[in-house]
Amino acid sequence: MAEIKKREPLLSVRNMKVHFQVSAGDKAWPWAPKKTLKAVDGVSFDLYPGETLGVVGESGCGKSTLSRAILNLIPATDGEIVWMGKDLRQGTEKDWHAVRRDIQMIFQDPLASLNPRMTIAQIIGEPLRVHRPELSEADVMKRVRSMMAKVGLREQMINRYPHEFSGGQCQRIGIARALILEPKLIICDEPVSALDVSIQAQIINLLKELQREMGLALIFIAHDLAVVKHISDRVLVMYLGREMELAEKQALYEMPTHPYTRALLSAIPIPDPALERQKEIQILQGDLPSPINPPSGCVFRTRCPLAIEACGGEVPKLRPITDRTRAACIRA
């Protein structure tokens, strides 16, 4: 990690906010005032070349919204997205088109992300036809076959359609499509959540192998902290659109500082039955608050076992706790 941080960040996200204007309820009048849903509310991080940043949190915490805002698939409300020194939010659509050659995405549902009317050759080769129109069809097919071999797909499958493949094979097709342009960054939006455990391990190992071979940086979004531990260098913990903790992997798993991180880690099952029975599970009380009407101060305070009156004041910012950990908690 020390060697990684000597280099300039590949991607810097500063105070990212993604807010939506929504109706007050299902039966609200059309002229009723809108309310603001704060899906992402002030997230910042740096990503370095060759690094993997894991992003974890409960459903609805803003992980996928954050990833889509980085690619401008959802417009950010505020903040900066700095890619290789250039603020993309100040750029034109032409600038975004050029950047998308270097930033690609792997989606959560492998089958739904593939066009059922296109063959595997057409799906994997489509980014080349869009971004590299100077290539001949023979060059495109040569690169498609080479990429299929890298991700473990046989050449005989090249003219088949997505419905003829298993979930794991469809995800390999999605990975091949994302890698065909040789990007610098891959955003993985829960790429293994819909797969069996054995297939999850295959896909994770494939991503790690391709990362070493191609020098990729990864943003890996997941619910499963055991999976995130296996692939990540650093981990960003999110809750209700805000960042709770950002730490190097070893520091976060061995000595988590934020109460929310501790609760998430306590839910990871231990393979040893004796140790699993002895483990203290920290069960969070109450329901996840609405992002339309979040609590004042620390958004986690309504479920936090360590909350005090001061937690309802100013929104806590990430601050250094150790040289490897930053947490947004006044009691960390």
- Whose tokens are 């192998």? That residue is 209
- Reported pTM: 0.89
H/E stretch holding 106: strand 103-106
Asked if residue 88 lies in contact with residue 99, where contact means CB atoms within 8 angstroms, the answer is yes
Check residue 301 and give its pLDDT. Answer: 92
* DSSP letter (8 states) at residue 281: P
Q: Which contacts qualify for 146-153: CB closer than 8 Å, 24 or more apart?
A: 147/176, 147/179, 147/180, 148/120, 148/124, 148/176, 150/176, 150/179, 150/210, 150/213, 151/175, 151/176, 151/179, 151/206, 151/210, 152/206, 153/120
Which residues partner with 80 through β-bridges?
A: 14
Q: Could you give the C-alpha distances from 100 to 93, 95, 128, 166, in angstroms and in order?
A: 11, 9, 12, 28
**What distance in Å separates the CA atoms of residue 102 and residue 324, rounded to the nearest whole number?**
29
Check residue 291 and give its pLDDT. Answer: 87
CATH of domain 2-23+33-102+183-256: 3.40.50.300
**What distance in Å separates the CA atoms of residue 300 and residue 104, rounded to the nearest whole number?**
32
**What distance in Å separates the CA atoms of residue 4 and residue 125, rounded to the nearest whole number?**
32
**What distance in Å separates the CA atoms of residue 83 and residue 183, rounded to the nearest whole number?**
13
Q: What is the pLDDT along the chain (332 residues), one digit of tens a residue?
A: 444 445 789 999 999 999 998 876 666 667 777 889 999 999 999 999 999 999 999 888 999 999 999 999 999 999 999 999 889 888 788 888 888 889 999 988 888 889 999 999 999 999 999 999 999 999 999 999 999 999 999 999 999 999 999 888 999 999 999 999 999 999 999 888 877 888 888 889 889 999 999 999 999 999 888 889 889 999 999 999 999 999 999 999 999 999 999 999 887 777 767 766 777 777 788 788 888 889 999 999 999 988 899 999 889 999 999 999 999 999 87
**Strands 325-327, 319-322: parallel, antiparallel or unpaired by DSSP?**
antiparallel
Which residues partner with 148 through β-bridges?
A: none
**What distance in Å separates the CA atoms of residue 327 and residue 304, rounded to the nearest whole number?**
14
